[in-house]
Amino acid sequence: MALDLGTTSVRAVLFNSKLEPFSSVQKPIKTIYPQPGWVEQDPEEIWVKARQVIKAVLKKQGIKPCQVASLGITNQRETTVVWDGKSGKVLHPAIVWQDRRTADQCERLKRDGHEPEIRRKTGLVIDPYFSGTKLQWILKKLPSRNNRNQIKFGTIDTWIIWKLTGGKIHVTDPSNASRTMMFDLRTMDWDQELVRLFGAKLDMLPDIAPSSGEVGVTDERIFGASISIGGICGDQQAALLGQGCFNKGEMKITYGTGAFLVLNTGSRRVKTKQPLITTVGWQIGKDVNYALEGSVFTCGALINWFVREGWIKDPPESEKLAESVEDTAGVYLVPALSGLGAPYWDPEAKATILGMTAGITTAHLVRAGLKGIVHQVTDVLEVMSQASGLQAKSVRVDGGVSRNDFTMQAQANLANVEVRRAENVETTVVGAAVLAGLSAKVWPNLFSVQKYLKSQARFKPKLKLVDRRSERNRWQQAVKTTQSFK
């Protein structure tokens, strides 16, 4: 079983030994926007929904908990939860990865000269995206009466495992720990100096376990019997696994709420001056796999905004509307709804629409929005190629927005690469299932599952070089204009 703790929903999926999903139950979770730039969720709601979907998927198939070989968990990564380890009470709403409230804290850290140390140790840039400043913000807001010795911190994986095990297991894996700004990639452990920098204590932080291997079992009172928890992995690294990118130089792009590009760099940590992230892909046994990542903060979130504001009735309509016009009529939409991620790292940037005239229609704007997503991804692809020295001729794609053929063809055109869409575009759950299956010895090793991972469609570049350059140049002008508007 895979439990996918995503940004917009929680889902449980059952797989057979051929990695075929045969049952799934999904429930939405609420996101709260207390003020501009702030994004929160209720950890208790996430826990209730996680418990419900596991129970429902078992009942749906008439399967007993003891028949589940292992449970793998994948999750939205940097989202931060703080709770009382004795009472189990959540001490603050979860601050979601998209949240920008700590932008000023990040600027102070940069001014105080901490970025080189953080970059050297963690592979990350200083940005509100990561968990460290979120944790610091919450700790400063907690009343002094809170017993600091009882406080527990975790990302969503840690919180849910703690709840599933009845408060017995406080754990994460390196793929999630490496997103906190407190984890040293060289020692593969928490860095005491960085932990103190963010106002935390080591005993607040979870233990670190490999991404595959039993970390504990669920409390038998929850499901009637225990289930082994055998896999933990952040969603984007899980998608890299689920795409079968097991070898150095292989890359995937997940088009979800945001768009995330992850390049497998094998056992080598790529040190780069480029504005990219060096992160842990996964750890199986003692073997650590590293990755280079670029994050685009707004992808499916833009399409959801189109739906919310009535531009389209549902996400699939965005493709039809974009294809109903020949071009964008000169309009460029920079979809910086949560600031700009890689390669710009500009948390203060705001979404902009440029080139409007009286003849512009909703179709032109939607097409410009989809192209804006593609341009942002292409920006990251270009710097990733420079940083790694690896020129991708094809990329594997997944996530909800990858179902949009117009967007995938535009991606192939503007990045000049072949785009290969997975047969099962929900590859995060596949990755979680792989890790759980390895823990339960369903397969002997990682490469033995490769034959079960297939591509469904391929999109080849069709745009002339001169047209590609023209579009890319105009896009760069649009981004500069966006960044200048503060």
Q: How far is CA 420 from CA 18, 416, 423, 461, in A?
A: 21, 13, 9, 12
Residue type, 469: R
Contact between 299 and 373 (Cβ < 8 Å): yes
The pLDDT value recorded for residue 143 is: 80
For 327, other C-beta atoms within 10 Å of its C-beta total 11
The pLDDT value recorded for residue 145 is: 62
The gap between the terminal CA atoms of the chain, to the nearest Å, is 46
The pLDDT value recorded for residue 309 is: 93
Contact between 366 and 327 (Cβ < 8 Å): no
The pLDDT value recorded for residue 427 is: 85
The pLDDT value recorded for residue 389 is: 74
The low-confidence residues of the chain, meaning pLDDT below 50, are none
Supply 248's token pair.
């150095």
Contact between 362 and 324 (Cβ < 8 Å): no
The pLDDT value recorded for residue 336 is: 93
Supply 326's token pair.
């020949």
Specify the CATH number of the domain 2-236. Answer: 3.30.420.40
What residue segments make up the domains of the chain, in order of their start?
2-236
Supply 138's token pair.
């919450």
